[in-house]
Structure 1
Amino acid sequence: MPDMKHITRRSAGRLGLWLAAGLATSGLPLAATAQEPPKPRQIVVNASIGDTMVATRAIYYAEFEKLYGIKVVESGPVNLAKLRAMVESGNIEWTISEVGGEEAIRAEKLGLFEPIDRKIVDMDALPSPMKERKVTLARGVYSTALGYRKDAFKNGQYPTNWADFWDVKKFPGPRSLRARAIDNLEFALMADGVATDKLYPLDVDRAFKKLDEIKPHISVWWSTGQQPAQLLIDREVIMTSGWNGRFYKLQRDESGIDVAWGGAMTKIGTFGVVKGTPNAYWGQKMLALMNDPKLQAAYAERVGYPGTHPKSWDYVDKAALKYFPTSPENLPKVAWTSDEWWAENGAAVEERFSRWLLAR
């Protein structure tokens, strides 16, 4: 298991310290009771699209349908504005919804989720502060990392962090970044020498000044999750930011594409039961399944996004661990996104980034 001593208090809040948890209980759904409400014909889950939706269907939804005989209908992508409109209008289409870390904070403040029913969703195994969450379940971990083509570096010296990404003399070649401020500001600050545990509050002006340096070398500003890996496969760029799960299969297949974990911006993915849904009880049952360590392990092996339940690591194929952001090897290298900072400042910063991007 990883040594957690290097994790800061703020980082520990996002990581949850599940790897260091002691007596972890099973995440299996609690037994049905006599007060169980009638079963609906279906529930609707709003979540991220792409490979993760396929994996979620195969692992979580299939198990739910087998256990309860209720069809799970998929909806995507994640859309906080639509979720808010549903709740405010009372026209509820979704039963549960995924939200990103900073969106989970906004959603809780706006009252968009039902309280988690702790009699159904056993979160006691999750260390603080995960088990104290009121309305969202921390289901998994993902990173925006640096992916690169190994054959682009003939001397065998590969980039290891964002300072290397910015070093166009040592590592010449076309690059790609996401067309969003989130993550890019942190990458710029780390490239400028800021330590991973000293990023927040972000020095926004300093970050944009550093982004000015790399802007001429960005050949593609990506906007969809599948783009970064495809850009590498097609040899359009030599390195790019991207979600680690998008590089995961390429790494395992030894395709010549690898990941540098230095400064990978790491986050917690969460789910909640939509406020006002008539099927709240069955939404809670789905959250309970998402907290099952065996299912989290199966999901992690399939898409590269590890679970949050401590016992999930007991069931993961050990050969897959080195590709996870929370592995013993990678955990000391990553940085943890401050959901609080982005919840408070994200809108203004993203607007500034959009203007900056257009000023070419």
Structure 2
Amino acid sequence: MKTRTTRSALSAALAAAATGVLIVGCSAAGPAEIDLGDGPAQAGTVKEGALDGVPLTFVSWGGSFQEGQMEAIGKPFAEASGAKLLEDGPTEYAKVKAQVDNNSVTWDVVDTDVIWAQKQCDAEDGLLMDIDTSIVDLSKVPEGLAGDCYVPAMQYGYVFLYNADTYPEGPTGWKDFFDTEKFPGKRAIAGFEDVGPGVYEGALLADGVAEDELYPLDMDRAYDKIDTIRDSLIFWKTGAESTQMIESGEADMALVWSGRGYEAVKNGANYRPVWNQALVIHEALTVPKNAKNPDAAMAFLNYYLGAEQQARLTELTSYSPVNVDAQPQLDELGTRFLTTDPGIAEQMVSTDSAWWAENYDSELERWMKWLQG
């Protein structure tokens, strides 16, 4: 990898302190010279001590997932590289914009929604740096998961689960999700102020649209189909609430993030996932423009994408790896929710983040009006 020079580590430390981030054991330092080594980048590696004393702030969504990210990747990266790795969160896009616009960036690596990240890639005044592929090795990232200004943070399924006590025979696909005569009962879907892949694709697949003809989405047709089950819908607004609706039995079927479904089943809910045409979703890791230590941030991304790191992250969080060589060691239940398992992966449908990024604003407005009835 190329030898590069960072901006002042002192500036980063002062900026982080100004936002209330606690820097443990980090003292002021002058400009740091970074030597990331020679030769091509290799995912999962960083030159020993290359970032000695360089402050770097990692931002994610909090909770068990961020804890897993730090345990599987953040702490080992800091130990190997010598970086002074800090945590902050949760991710807030308004804060990213304010930092970039004011040239006072204190967040170096930020876990974001992939649609938001794609919007930044597409915009002339986007808030994110392009990925430096001289530092970040993307050769082991599954096709379609990386963008010009982001790499994948993890991938998961957007899948519906059903109550096996209510439906002993079980629904087998989206057509059954929308069939309230054959499968009466409540369906839980997301009902918060956001929009993206999910029930719309499911509605079109249930209505007979072929997988390879989903995009561009015919949203008029999707809403017509969703309207047919509106009286049977209930809405969750947080991941925790979606898990609770399954565990309590409030929802007979629930369209949820696979990690939340796994959590509910692990806690004893007798629900089963339907992987047939479930949706592949992923999150993004990004570096804001004007980051004080961009090369160090890119080195973190490169380390994050390693097979060993990804396997460990999956073992800790249940979310699927974004390195094709990762081989997480999971129990039987974990394997049943591993979306990269060949038997599951072959059933799933890819989603188009570029289409959603282009149409996000108009579709969000439409969704909010629909929710209000």
2:57 maps to a residue whose letter is V
2:175 is aligned with 1:163:
yes
2:165 alignment partner, SS class: helix
Query: Which residue of 127, 133, 148 maps to 1:112?
Result: 127
- Structure 1 residues 97 and 181: CA distance shift in structure 2, 3 A: closer
- 1:61 matched to which residue of 2? 74
What is residue 276 of structure 1 aligned with on the other side?
Answer: 290
| 1:344 CA displacement | 0.8
Q: Separation in 2 of the partners of 1:330 and 1:128?
A: 17
Distance 1:279 1:189, change over 3 A: same
Match of 2:114 among 101, 113, 118: 101
2:225 counterpart (189, 194, 210): 210
Quote how far apart the aligned CAs of 1:288 are.
Answer: 1.7
5 Å matches for 1:178-197? 178-179=190-191, 180-182=194-196, 183-197=198-212
Q: Deviations over 1:331-354 (max 9, x none)?
A: 222221111110111110111111
Q: State whether residues 46 and 303 of structure 2, in contact with CA within 8 Å, keep that contact through their aligned partners in structure 1.
A: no
Secondary structure of the residue that 1:330 maps to in structure 2? Answer: helix
Cα distance change, pair 317–26 in 1 and its aligned pair in 2 (3 A): farther
Closer, same or farther: CA 261–162 of 1 in aligned 2, 3 Å = same
Structure 1 vs Structure 2 CA RMSD: 2.4
Whose Rg is larger? 2
Residue identity in the other structure for 1:103? W
Mapping of residues 25-104 of structure 1, within 5 Å: 27-31=43-47, 36=50, 39-40=53-54, 42-104=55-117
Deviations 1:5-47 (A, max 9, x none): xxxxxxxxxxxxxxxxxxxx962224258xx56623x422222
Structure 1 segments unaligned to the other structure (5+ residues): 1-24
| Structure 1 residues 241 and 130: alpha-carbon distance in aligned structure 2, compared to 1, 3 A threshold | closer
1:204-229 deviation digits (Å, cap 9, x = unpaired): 1111111111111113x112112111
- 1:331 to 1:129, Cα distance in 2 relative to 1, 3 A: closer
1:260-310 superposed Cα distances (whole Å, 9 cap, x missing partner) = 112222123221222111122321222122111011011112222211212
Taking structure 2 as the reference length, the TM-score comes to: 0.80
Aligned residues: 327
Matches of 1:357 and 1:306 in 2, distance apart?
31
CA contact 1:293–1:310 (8 Å) conserved in 2: yes
**How far does residue 240 in structure 1 lie from its aligned partner after superposition?**
0.8
Structure 1 match to 2:277: 263
The whole-number CA distance in structure 1 between the counterparts of 2:292 and 2:176 is: 52
Does structure 2 conserve the Cα–Cα contact (< 8 Å) formed by 1:178 and 1:223? yes
Hey, which of these two has a bigger chunk of helix by percent?
1
Q: Secondary structure at the match of 2:282?
A: strand
| CA distance in structure 2 between the partners assigned to 1:251 and 1:27 by the alignment | 33
Q: Post-superposition shift, 1:259?
A: 1.1
Q: Which of 181, 184, 200 is the equivalent residue of 1:172?
A: 184
Q: Which amino acid aligns with 1:79?
A: E
TM-score when normalising by structure 1 = 0.82
In structure 2, the residue matched to 1:247 is 261
* In 1, Cα distance between equivalents of 2:48 and 2:135: 9
Taking the aligned partners of 2:301 and 2:62, their CA distance within structure 1 comes to: 18
Q: CA deviation at 1:112?
A: 2.1
1:291 and 2:294 correspond: no
CA contact (8 A) 1:30 1:120 kept: no
8 Å CA contact 1:196, 1:334 repeated in 2? no
1:26 touches 1:293 (CA, 8 Å); kept in 2?
Answer: no
One-letter identity of the residue aligned with 1:193: G
SS of corresponding position for 1:230:
helix
Q: Distance in 1 between matches of 2:346 and 2:162?
A: 20
Instruction: Give how far 1:71 is off.
Output: 4.2
Identity within the alignment, %: 27
- Deviation (angstroms), 1:64: 2.2
Aligned partner letter, 1:159: P
- Counterparts of 2:43 and 2:265 in 1: how far apart (Å)? 30
SS in 2 for 1:310: coil
